[in-house]
């Protein structure tokens, strides 16, 4: 195709494609025992995932999600990439549910995902959780992502100031996340115009321990991407780093001839690659009737034999899981054999080696950086895959980059589809419970009460109960009235808490305590009633004061104070 001409008849240079220049670093931090963060960045894809789920599954969730998405790192999308990123994240979410179904010990695991996919001059953005994406463009630095956290919702509703968020006791409570709870989680999606020279920072929430203005200054002033990533992680470590921290720095640039000719970068250490080969060869040799020599000759005659086996194998490993095949999986294997496909292997470890081999080939096919739990999984061969499921077939096929039109879609038997009914119903029930709890909590935050804080009278927003580990109230204001300075009746009322309809009522109760020592100005003053004698009249000295009950009725607030 000829280059377009300018008005004076000269050819204009052809517009070059855009790619990402990048650097990444992940660190376990000062407190945590393992790294639950994972990240991948290449010329067209960048992903950061922060796993959760404690000792059992945080690293599995983030590594599984990132490794399932790496095949998107290319610019060949004939039909456009408008839905590609969202579809792949939803698929990764299904994979997490399958992993939990296979290994219930992983129940409750989840991960955040913040991802960018570069296609021509468009940047597809997808986000869920509290990892963050920042953009520096035309000297303007801004946070593009929105945290899906409880405190962010309070900020959006105007019930919390941004500067209070960092010290809020529930600042780490996530409202949206990938995992085995929601079958179809809601993602933040956008398609952004992109320009050469703009910079992006993707990071896990571990970077939040560095002040925002410091992060902005580093991104603006540090020209070298690698140096910038290193500095940001080092600053986090200096701040104490109580959480894992992962940083991906990238810059959008025009592709050069050097980029076209650059060979793929292989980040897996040579020693690890040698161990993969030795392990795979030993497994294949043990299955060969003619011994290692025959096995090696067979491999040399067909270099794609293991990749083909990976596409057809049903067995797998969830981070070195060696559970035997279940009866359902054996039945599925029999049905697969009847349909003409190779039967599933009975070796519980063979799928692990095949997945590691296929992943290694995929990672070696293009320049990239892989860090965190995903890099550990790639180096050790403990690839989280699903045993005996069609998802494993799909994942292996995707990793080999087989064209969509060449893939053979294996239709699941009807009985397999029905099995999704119970998880779907359970997901709806769980969602209903979560919504109900949220509405109940929101109602409690419209209430107020007067109680004791640090031996002083204080006003609280909420109700004075707890829901498990969650306190359903927060301190609104502390007065200078000491509880021990009140009458005994007033002290008892405050310590048992005095409910109020709103903040104005609570302030009125405090004022009454200050002036009269009672929780309500209308409460009757307790005292003995005079009993007249029929025969003896006792004169009352002129200096004595006689308490007279108030004729007014006792209000409801006074009853509550009792």
pLDDT in tens, 256-299: 888 776 544 444 444 444 454 454 444 344 434 344 333 333 33
CA 275 to chain centre: 33
Mean pLDDT is highest, among 3-17, 414-428, 443-457, for 443-457
pTM metric for this prediction:
0.56
Q: Could you give the CA distance from residue 316 to residue 342 in angstroms, rounded to a whole number?
A: 16
pLDDT value for 549:
44
Domain ranges across the chain: 19-261, 270-411, 448-525+555-561
Comparing 134 with 505, the larger pLDDT belongs to 134
Q: At residue 332, does pLDDT exceed 60?
A: no
Range name among 2-6, 61-65, 260-264 with the lowest pLDDT average: 2-6
Q: Could you give the CA distance from residue 481 to residue 517 in angstroms, rounded to a whole number?
A: 10
CA 507 to chain centre: 40
Which alpha helices (DSSP H) does 103-224 contain, by range?
A: 150-156, 162-165, 212-221
Ramachandran region, residue 141 (left: φ > 0; alpha: ψ -120 to 50; beta: rest): beta
Top CATH class of 19-261 equals alpha beta
Comparing 501 with 354, the larger pLDDT belongs to 501
DSSP β-ladder status, 113-119 and 45-52: antiparallel
Tell me the angle at which helices 373-380 and 54-69 cross, rounded to the nearest 10 degrees: 80
pLDDT in tens, 530-542: 444 444 344 444 4
Q: At residue 360, does pLDDT exceed 60?
A: yes
pLDDT in tens, 172-230: 678 889 987 777 889 999 999 999 999 999 999 999 999 999 999 999 999 999 999 99
CA quadruple 81, 87, 91, 93: dihedral, nearest 10: 120
Element (H, E) at 62: helix 54-69
pLDDT value for 123:
96
The count of C-alpha atoms lying within 13 angstroms of the C-alpha of 24, restricted to the half-sphere facing its C-beta, is 30
């Amino acid at each position: 195709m000829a280059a377009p001409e300018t008005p004076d008849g000269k050819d204009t240079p052809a517009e070059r494609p855009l790619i990402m220049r990048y650097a990444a670093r992940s660190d376990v931090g000062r407190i945590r025992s393992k790294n639950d963060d994972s990240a991948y960045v290449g010329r067209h894809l960048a992903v950061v995932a922060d796993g959760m789920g404690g000792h059992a599954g945080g690293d599995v969730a983030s590594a599984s999600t990132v490794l399932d998405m790496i095949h998107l790192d290319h610019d060949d999308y004939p039909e456009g990439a408008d839905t590609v990123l969202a579809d792949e994240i939803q698929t990764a979410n299904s994979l997490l549910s399958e992993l939990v179904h296979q290994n219930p010990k992983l129940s409750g695991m989840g991960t955040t995902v913040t991802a960018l996919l570069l296609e021509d001059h468009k940047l597809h953005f997808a986000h869920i959780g509290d990892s963050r994406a920042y953009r520096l463009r035309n000297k303007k630095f801004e946070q593009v992502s929105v945290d899906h956290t409880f405190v962010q919702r309070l900020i959006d509703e105007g019930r919390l100031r941004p500067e209070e968020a960092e010290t809020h006791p529930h600042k780490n409570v996530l409202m949206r996340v990938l995992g085995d709870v929601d079958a179809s989680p809601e993602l933040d999606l956008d398609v952004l115009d992109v320009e050469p020279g703009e910079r992006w920072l993707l990071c896990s929430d571990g970077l939040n321990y560095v002040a925002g203005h410091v992060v902005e200054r580093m991104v603006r002033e540090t020209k070298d991407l690698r140096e910038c990533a290193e500095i940001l992680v080092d600053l986090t470590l200096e701040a104490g780093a109580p959480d894992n921290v992962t940083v991906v720095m990238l810059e959008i640039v025009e592709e050069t001839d050097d980029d076209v000719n650059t060979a793929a970068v292989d980040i897996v250490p040579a020693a690890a690659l040698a161990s993969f080969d030795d392990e795979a060869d030993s497994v294949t040799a043990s299955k060969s009737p003619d011994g290692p020599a025959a096995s090696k000759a067979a491999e040399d005659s067909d270099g794609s034999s293991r990749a083909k086996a990976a596409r057809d194998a049903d067995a797998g490993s969830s981070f070195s899981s060696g559970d035997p095949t279940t009866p359902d999986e054996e039945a599925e294997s029999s049905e697969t054999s009847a349909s003409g496909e190779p039967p599933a292997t009975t070796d519980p470890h063979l799928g692990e080696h095949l997945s590691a081999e296929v992943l290694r080939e995929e990672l070696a096919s293009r320049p990239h950086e892989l860090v965190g739990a995903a890099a550990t999984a790639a180096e050790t061969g403990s690839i989280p895959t699903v045993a005996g499921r069609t998802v494993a077939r799909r994942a292996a096929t995707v990793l080999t980059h087989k064209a969509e039109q060449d893939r053979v879609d294996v239709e699941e038997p009807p009985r397999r589809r029905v099995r999704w009914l119970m998880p779907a119903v359970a997901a709806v029930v769980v969602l209903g419970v979560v919504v109900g709890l949220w509405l109940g909590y929101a109602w409690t935050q419209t209430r107020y009460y007067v109680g004791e804080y640090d031996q002083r009278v204080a006003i609280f927003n909420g109700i004075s109960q707890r829901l498990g580990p969650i306190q359903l109230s927060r301190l609104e204001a502390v007065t200078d009235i000491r509880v021990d300075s009140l009458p005994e009746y007033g002290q008892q009322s405050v310590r048992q808490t005095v409910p109020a309809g709103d903040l104005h009522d609570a302030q009125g109760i405090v004022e009454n305590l200050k002036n009269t020592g009672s929780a309500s100005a209308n409460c009757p003053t307790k005292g003995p009633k005079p009993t007249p004698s029929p025969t003896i009249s006792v004169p009352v000295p002129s200096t004595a004061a006689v308490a007279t009950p108030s004729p007014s009725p006792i209000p409801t607030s006074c009853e509550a104070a009792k």
